[in-house]
Amino acid sequence: MEKHLICIMCPMGCNLTVKEENGEISVTGNGCNRGVVFAKEELTCPKRIVTTSVKTKNGVKACKTTAPIPKNLMFDCVKEIEKLRLKDAKFGQIIIKNVLGTGADVIVTANE
């Protein structure tokens, strides 16, 4: 199997070619080792940071996960955030600790 990816680990945006044969993964096109790590993770267990908004009594505030979570849990994470109705929320405040058992917290990322 061969897959083509663009690395998102730094601004370089290297064009990666990832090949899997007999359980072995090889990566070419990377400018640094972060590309290899990204490609292998993307192939075996892709993760993303979730960025969305949370409702407060005065509107909405931006929020995000503090670390990437498994890509297949993204929509479930957003559903958990949608359940919240905060009285108030301040920048950096943890609004969900260890969301979905991922080890990542959800924090507020805006004052306004």
Does domain 51-108 fall under CATH 3.10.530.10? My reply is: yes
Per-residue confidence (pLDDT) for residue 112, from 0 to 100? 66
Q: Where in the chain is the domain with CATH 3.10.530.10?
A: 51-108
The tens digit of pLDDT for each residue in 16-73 reads 999 999 889 999 999 999 999 999 999 889 999 999 999 999 889 999 999 999 999 9
Higher per-residue confidence, 89 vs 6: 6
62 and 91 in contact (C-beta within 8 Å)? no
- Chain position carrying tokens 């503090």: 66
Cα(102)–Cα(85) distance, rounded to whole angstroms?
Answer: 22
Which whole number is the average pLDDT over 4-9?
Answer: 94
Higher per-residue confidence, 89 vs 99: 99
4 and 15 in contact (C-beta within 8 Å)? yes
Question: What b/e readout covers 8-35, taking b as 16+ CB neighbours within 10 angstroms?
Answer: ebeeeebebebeeeeeeeebeebeeeeb
Cα(15)–Cα(30) distance, rounded to whole angstroms?
Answer: 7
- The pLDDT confidence band at residue 111, using thresholds 50, 70 and 90, is confident
